[in-house]
Structure formats: C-alpha cells, structure tokens
Amino acid sequence: MCELLGMSANVPTDICFSFTGFLHRGGGTGPHRDGWGIAFYEAGGYRDFRDPHPSVRSPIARLISDYPIKSHIVISHIRQANVGGVRLANTHPFTREMWGRTWCYAHNGQLEGWQTLPLVDYQPVGDTDSEHAFCWLLATLREHFPRAPADVTDEVPKEQYLPLWQLLHGLCEQLRSQGVFNLLLADGEFLYTYCSTKLAHTTRRAPFGKAELSDAELTINFAEHTTPDDVVSVIATEPLTHNEAWTRMEPGELLVWRHGHIQARFVSGSSPMAG
C-alpha cells in the first residue's frame, strides 16, 4: 500500500528532515515506486509537486529535501498502485476548491464498491478509488455545509466546527467499512488525519533534542533550528525516526490539528474530545 506524511506547525517550518527519510521509502527502503507528491500551505497560498516516478530517484524530490519551504501544513504521499495506472493524473495529493479554500487530500488503502459512491459537484480527473472517494467526500461536506461554519481565528471556534468534524468522522467511518481508508486532508487552516489501519504521530516542542532517521543516515539537532515556542507535529504511516516517541493512532480515530496542536479527537462509538 501507499504511505502518508503530514505536518502541522505553529510557525512556518520546513519538512526537509522528515521528507528526506520519507522519500527513501519510495523505491529505496520501501516498495512504493509508483509516484509521489507533496503539498504546502504557506502565507495564505498553496503549491504542490507531483511526479509519477519513484521518489528515491526523483530530482524533484531531492530538490524538496534540500529546499526549505516554510509551511504551516504539509501533506505528502508515496504510491504503490493498486487501482488506476501509474500516471500523473493518479498521483496524490489531489486538490479541489471549497469555500474559497484549496482542499488537499491523500489516501492510503484500497476500497471496495467505490464506484457506487455518487458524484455530484466534483468529478475525478484520474481513475483511482482514492480520487473518486475524495470527490464524494468533499461534495457531501459541501451539501451539508454550503458555507464554512465560521471564520477561523486564533481562538478556534470549536463549537461551530464540531458538527463539520463529526460529519467528516462519520464519512471516514463509512469509507473504512468499504476497505482500508487512511486519510490526510487539509484546507489551509486545519489538518485532518484519519486512521483505518496505520498512522502515527510525534510532536516536537521545547526542550528540543536530536532526531535520527530510520530510513537514511541523517541526524538533526532541532535545538539549533527552533525557538522555545515552536510546536511541530509530524504524522506518518510508520514512524520516521527511531529515537523519538511516536503515538500510534487507533483504527477509526480522527484527529483535527491546527498549529501543531490537536483541536479535537473522534473515535468510533464515542463523543468527540476537544484538544
């Protein structure tokens, strides 16, 4: 299956270190040879890079690992194709507009019966179950919420966003019932991570120390690159470092991230818990 990488930070932060380890899994230390992509939200804008070739041999991937793009939210994906051919149109992450925001989505897993999910406002460009599910998911959210629930401020209006987050969790649960559905989703304000089988996260904050990659010979001392107020959370299919504490998400768990912090947590069969 594919693998996912995400980041949520309270200050513009580059993901060069984590991405360096991640790209080695795309045809190097892992079998995910069928394309890769990465998306950045920065300064109110959005940009992404996608390539249908293995990331471990991609000049574009090497550029990203060396180019410190500063971002609050990052989503990345390396692909092992199971539905749809190996081509750019089928390379994650996928994007669509809703509420004047760019929504970015990446999926790890495989779904059964995905062709029966009705499509209304959005249509796939490629022919993957992942993109079809994204179009269905976003259209369903838009049907129930024609406008954004509220303007986002530093004091996140959790009470106004909880219905949206509850609906998103329910839709993810529906897709999980059709197979494996691990999700990264973002709108420039929030990063959503949903676990069907495998996702883990770690949060880096003061006092910062050294981290060592599992997939490449690289060590970094974050104390030399951060301030005491920085908070950076990294989410991955499998932990990227072997000397940091990673928390594995539960099947059916949805986490809502903003500025490196968990805003809300949803698990199967229980009420949401605010962060």
Q: Is 259 left (phi over 0), alpha (psi -120 to 50) or beta?
A: left
Rounded Cα distance, 115 and 161, in Å: 30
Rounded Cα distance, 35 and 50, in Å: 8
At how many degrees (to 10) do helices 129-144 and 158-176 cross? 140
**How many C-beta atoms surround the C-beta of residue 145 within 10 A?**
15
* 3-class DSSP assignment, residue 271: coil
Rounded Cα distance, 266 and 245, in Å: 22
- Whether 172 is catalytic is no
Gap between the terminal Cα atoms of the chain: 31
Active-site residue, selected from the candidate residues 2, 104, 135, 195: 2
Rounded Cα distance, 123 and 243, in Å: 43
Q: Cite the active site residues.
A: 2
